[in-house]
Amino acid sequence: MYLKSIELAGFKSFAKKSELNFTSKISAIVGPNGSGKSNVAEAFSFVLGEQSIKSLRGKKGEDLIWNGSNDTPRANRASVKIVFDNSSKFLPIDYETVTIERVVHRDSVNEYIINGSQVRLRDVVELLASAHIGSSGHHIISQGEADRILNANIKERKSMIEDALGLKMYQYKKQESERKLIKTRENIAQTQSLRREIMPHIRFLKKQVEKVQKTIELRDDLQNQALEYCRREDEYIKQTTKRIDEEKSPLLTKEKELIKELNEAKAVLEGAKHRDATSEELITLEQDLHKTRDEKDNLFREVGKLDGEISSLVRMVKKQEELAFSLEHKTITLVSVETLSTQIETKIKEAKKIGDIETLLKTLDEVGELLSRFIDKNKSKVDMSLLTEAQKDIENLKESKKQIEESLGKIKNKESELSFQYTALQNKIEKEKDSNRDAEKAVFRVMAESQEVRSKLHTLAVEEETLRLIREDFKRELTELGMLLGTHILQFQSLSFDFNEPRNVQEERRRKIEKIKIRLEDAGGAGETDVLKEYTEVSERDAFLEKELADLEKSAESLTELITDLDLRLSTEFKNGVDKINIQFKEYFAVMFGGGEAKLNVVKPEKKNNIDESVLFNDESELDFAGGTDGKAEGYDGIDIEVNLPKKKIKGLMMLSGGERALTSIALLFAISQVNPPPFIVLDETDAALDEANSKKYSDMIENLSKYSQLILITHNRETMSRAGILYGVTMGMGGSSKLLSVAFEEAVTIAK
Ligand code: ATP
């Protein structure tokens, strides 16, 4: 036995908590009209998830809550709790006992609880569907609804049979898959539309990106070329500067040397201008020498003369000495003679002046006297003084000679000195003449060499100027490249190349760089990162959409496959189920009518539509399969019932009597229940329309059916009550609330009345 108990609290007429335990295969609920029996049957529907308030005889959720009476205030909530013994695991949940509870509040909010945990309606429905306790309520036949299956249209009938056959699970799965498929297709359409929308933008961005990529390629190319160019240019400038410096340095030294040399030579030549002075000095010297030599000669002559005089005086002294002692050789001094002569001449002159004879005569006398006196004087006189004088003179002369000889010595010294100076000067002049010649030669040579050095320096200066321009150009180029490529360009310094490259290759490189720059300028570079970012974002979005589309299509495909599988399974199991039901239906029908035939026919629609979009299941949808228009018109599969009463030519359901309808529907219900027995069946006065004979047959069938399912029977029928193992009486007191009591058979019969 699966069903253990049901507990009602605040549900409809059950103001107080009331519990029914189903310890028997067949339980009967009995009681007078209006006591609340049907409320118990409805409690089953309610707790199992019935969504149609109408089928619970209400207009809104509130109608299901105890409304209050004089002695019992109205309740805020209605709750029904059903307890299953799940030791057989007929419910796919790992609990020995499963309690399902539903609560409805006055604001119509419903709560579903499985084993104390709040769940969704869907969880309850799915859990029950797997145990053939479907929401179509085929196992809860409410009062007056015994022939519901006969009254239903073919589509509803099919749904009820599917439910009874336990195919609802597949139905739900199919509906769920269909719902998902529709959603997936919507998503596919939406995704496709999104992709279509962004496609022109992507195409536009792609073109932009191609341009940007071209710019990036150009810039990369420029960067590579520029790095090499800068490295080589820098190296070229350094090397050329070094080479020029190296070449210039010795030239400058040389130039300095040459200037010095030239100055020296010039100085020498300048010195030549003073040669005249030197010459004059030489001439002076020469003149002095001449003069000195003349002086020397004079002195020589003087000496000679003095020598002669001395010799003559010596000879004269000798003679005088001889004469001093001989008259003959008496010596009269010239001076004395001259003095005499002078005296005579003076006398003569004076006489002449006067000019008279007397005077002349007198003068002659005087002259004669003078002469006589002179002779006399000199005859007697041995004049030694002359000798002494002469010797004195000799001495004087010797002295003079000595002095002259001294002077001569001096003069000789002077001469030799002058002669030395002269020779020295002469040598100097000769030497100077040689120096000048050398200097002149040097000037010519230096001039020639200077010319060469200057020419080389000039060439280097031209090179320097060219290099300066190259350096300035390079500086400017570096700034420009920095602006185009950023500081990365400065990394050129760390590169190394083979620098033995001809200069024209570098110039060619520069031209190439210029061309790239122009192309870059033409391409324009603004907003590059934005374009790339946007393109990346948009294409990532597109890729995402593409992947999503692929995923969606894949899932649509697998959903379609699943639906096809489910359809196949549904149709196969449905067909097999209907065949099995037909076997039982035929038997039960024959038992009920003592013969005849009944059969379910699957009615094929004219136009098949696999996707039943109108009955999509979700938490919001009402799980009400009743109602609606004839399914045939909508082109759905359906179930038609064919009856063939014994001894009557009645074939249509419409032509059956009320009792016949009840018997047919009971036969069908029992057939269905036997083929796929639900854990329990609630039958609310299904036996109401039966006469005594049929009540007996009904009760027999009940007993048979109880082998497969637990039965809860609400009944007034004594025969039915007699088959129940447990009996509950429902009474309603003055307060209008239902009360439950376990009763014995006889008591039940009384209560039922
Ligand atoms: P019958 O044998 O005639 O079919 P029954 O025993 O099945 O009668 P029910 O139809 O189950 O009787 O009970 C109906 C009773 O429940 C009515 O008296 C009605 O007033 C009462 N009832 C229904 N809803 C509520 C409610 N919300 N609050 C209080 N009482 C309610």
- Whether 403 is covered by a domain: the verdict is no
Instruction: Convert the pLDDT of each residue in 109-138 to its tens digit.
Output: 999 999 999 999 989 988 988 787 766 667
Q: Which of 38, 40, 70 to mutate to test the pocket of ligand 1 (most atoms within 8 A of CB)?
A: 38
Q: Which residues lie across from 29 on neighbouring strands?
A: 714, 728
Instruction: Give the Cβ contact number of residue 682 at 10 Å.
Output: 27
Question: Cβ neighbours of residue 428 under 8 Å, at least 6 residues apart?
Answer: 278
Is 103 inside any structural domain? yes
Within a domain: 22: yes
Per-residue CA distances from 642 to 20, 103, 159, 601, 645 (Å): 39, 42, 18, 7, 10
Measured in Å, residue 732 CA sits from the centre of ligand 1 at 9
Average pLDDT over every residue of 266-283: 77
- Better pLDDT: 360 or 579: 579
Q: What is the pLDDT of residues 378-407, one digit of tens each?
A: 777 665 666 777 778 888 888 888 888 888
User: Is there a domain that residue 647 lies in?
Assistant: no
Mean pLDDT on 731-752: 82
Pocket flag, ligand 1, residue 13 (CB < 6 Å):
yes
Query: Does ligand 1 have an atom closer than 6 angstroms to the CB of 10?
Result: no
- Whether 732 is in a domain gets the answer yes
In a domain, 621, yes or no: no
Cα of 127 vs centre of ligand 1, distance in Å, is 30
What φ, ψ does residue 85 adopt, rounded to 5°?
-85, 115
CA 675 to chain centre: 72
Rounded Cα–Cα distance for residues 225 and 229 (Å) = 6
Q: Domain of residue 715: give its range.
A: 1-139+678-753
Whose alpha carbon is nearest atom 11 of ligand 1? 36
User: Are the beta carbons of 320 and 390 closer than 8 angstroms?
Assistant: yes
Write the pLDDT tens digit of every residue in 555-577.
999 999 999 998 898 889 888 99
Say yes or no: CB of residue 35 within 6 Å of ligand 1. yes
Dist. CA 17 → ligand 1 center (Å): 16
Q: Which atom of ligand 1 is nearest to the CA of 40?
A: 11
CA dihedral (516, 518, 523, 529) positive or negative: positive
| Domain count of the fold of the chain | 1
| Cα–Cα nearest to 735, from 76, 40, 67 | 67
CATH code, domain carrying 97: 3.40.50.300
At 340 the pLDDT is: 87
Q: What is the DSSP letter of 483?
A: H
Q: Which atom of ligand 1 is the closest one to the Cα of 74? A: 28
pLDDT of residue 484: 82
Question: How far apart are the CA of 749 and the centre of ligand 1, in A?
Answer: 20
Q: How far is the CA of 701 from the centre of ligand 1 (A)?
A: 29
Tell me the per-residue pLDDT of 155-188, one tens digit each, with 9 for 90 and over. 888 888 887 887 877 888 888 899 999 999 999 9
Residue 27, pLDDT > 60, answer yes
Q: What's the farthest any 2 CA atoms get from each other in the chain?
A: 261
CA of 714, closest atom in ligand 1:
7
What are the tens digits of pLDDT across the range 439-467?
888 888 888 888 899 899 999 999 999 99
User: What's the CA gap between 686 and 669, in Å, rounded?
Assistant: 10
Query: Once rounded to an integer, what is the mean pLDDT over residues 23-32?
Result: 93
Q: What is the DSSP letter of 619?
A: T
Contact 45, 684 (CB under 8 A): no
User: Which pairing describes strands 710-714 and 738-742: parallel, antiparallel, or unpaired?
Assistant: unpaired
34 within ligand 1 shell (Cβ under 6 A): yes
Task: Render pLDDT for 186-210 as a digit per residue (tens, 0 to 9).
Answer: 999 999 999 999 899 889 988 888 8
Task: Work out the pLDDT band at 636, boundaries 50, 70, 90.
Answer: low
